[in-house]
Amino acid sequence: MTDSRKVLDVAGVSKRFGPLEVLSDISFEVAKGETVCVLGPSGSGKSTLLRCINWLERPDAGQIYLNGVEIGVTGGGLVMTDRELSRIRTRIGMVFQHFALWPHLTVLQNLMEAPVQVQKRPRAEVRDEALALLAKVGLSDKRDVFPAKLSGGQKQRVGIARALAIRPDLLLFDEPTSALDPELVGEVLVVMRELAREGMTMVVVTHEMGFARDAATRILFLDRGRVVEMSSPDQFFSNPESERARQFIQRYAGNVANARLAVTSK
């Protein structure tokens, strides 16, 4: 299911906010088709790591490569301009915790906006693909609706479809279900599981232990800005190496409902 081609290569990434070192020397690789779940306690830097990957946050140290091409720094060693960054970002899809749908556009227009405006693909082709994606996430009937009229779960499914519409090499999920009411979480996880099963390369920051255990090919456990553990889900949940991981799992694993209640927003 995974092949040896590296889609994402993170090497020695560090980031500080003022005096606080949020990420310290993070290194890992993601092969094509992998689903990497990033777990960790609040404040461990998970979201920051994700946002560094597409340079929404600028790392203070380290390199990030997408399909072998460095993100953020040109071949000549200069920091990339906005335009150069945008050319890379269009290869990475992102799903946001609070959905971040564009309120002035309908659902269908949200999906079509980046492919048409940024990728300059022909409108008709984009439209067909967008409609197919909406069908895939089960929201065909909402295509001409404005986002404000959707439920949280529907908004997030649109968010996922929108990210898929740009045909990304890599999908980033920033706590996609944390802002959802419990009964709406399931419909989003179903879509995500399906994507993982189909071989989409994904990096998912989440608190959903059930999803991590079932759908991930690898777990990255972060604590206080460092990669404490990196292993298969089976190994991580049943036989964690570190004490911190053990504590974390004890607090959150098992009863998924309890886990959701125990988590406060970051």
In the complex, which residues of this chain contact another protein (CB under 8 A)? 54, 56, 82-83, 85-87, 89-90, 92-94, 96, 98-104, 113-114, 117-119, 146-148, 162, 166
Which of the 8 DSSP states describes residue 60?
Answer: S
DSSP string across 103-153: TTS-HHHHHHHHHHHTS---HHHHHHHHHHHHHHTT-GGGTTS-GGGS-HH
Nearer to another protein, 27 or 86 (CB): 86
* Residue 106 or 206 with smaller CB distance to another protein: 106
* Distance between first and last Cα of the chain: 33
CA atoms 228, 24, 86, 67: torsion sign: negative
Q: Are 103 and 146 in contact (CB under 8 A)?
A: yes
If the CB atoms of residues 117 and 232 are measured against another protein, the closer one turns out to be 117
Helix, strand, coil content of the chain in percent (nearest 5) = 40, 25, 35
CB of 189 to another protein, least distance (A): 21
Least distance to another protein from the beta carbon of 11, Å?
Answer: 22
Residues with Cβ within 8 Å of residue 10, at least 6 apart in sequence: 26, 27, 28, 29, 49, 53, 62, 63, 64
Q: How far is the CB of 210 from another protein (least distance, A)?
A: 26
Beta carbon nearer to another protein, 20 or 118: 118
Shortest distance (Å) from residue 52 CB to another protein: 12
* Beta carbon of residue 163, minimum distance to another protein (angstroms, whole number): 8
Judged by CB, which is closer to another protein: 7, or 111?
A: 111
| Minimum CB distance to another protein, residue 89 (Å) | 4
Q: Which is nearer to another protein, 41 or 115 (CB)?
A: 115
Residue 76 has which token pair? 């000549």
CB of 56 to another protein, least distance (A): 6
> Shortest approach of another protein to residue 4 CB, angstroms?
28
Residue type, 171: L
Sequence-distant (6+) residues with CB within 8 A of 55 are 64, 71, 72, 80, 85, 88, 89
| Closest C-alpha among 125, 122, 156, 123 to residue 138 | 156
Question: How many beta carbons lie within 10 A of that of residue 108, not counting itself?
Answer: 23
What is the C-alpha to C-alpha distance for residues 60 and 76, in angstroms, rounded to an integer? 18
Nearer to another protein, 195 or 230 (CB): 195
Q: Which is nearer to another protein, 41 or 176 (CB)?
A: 176
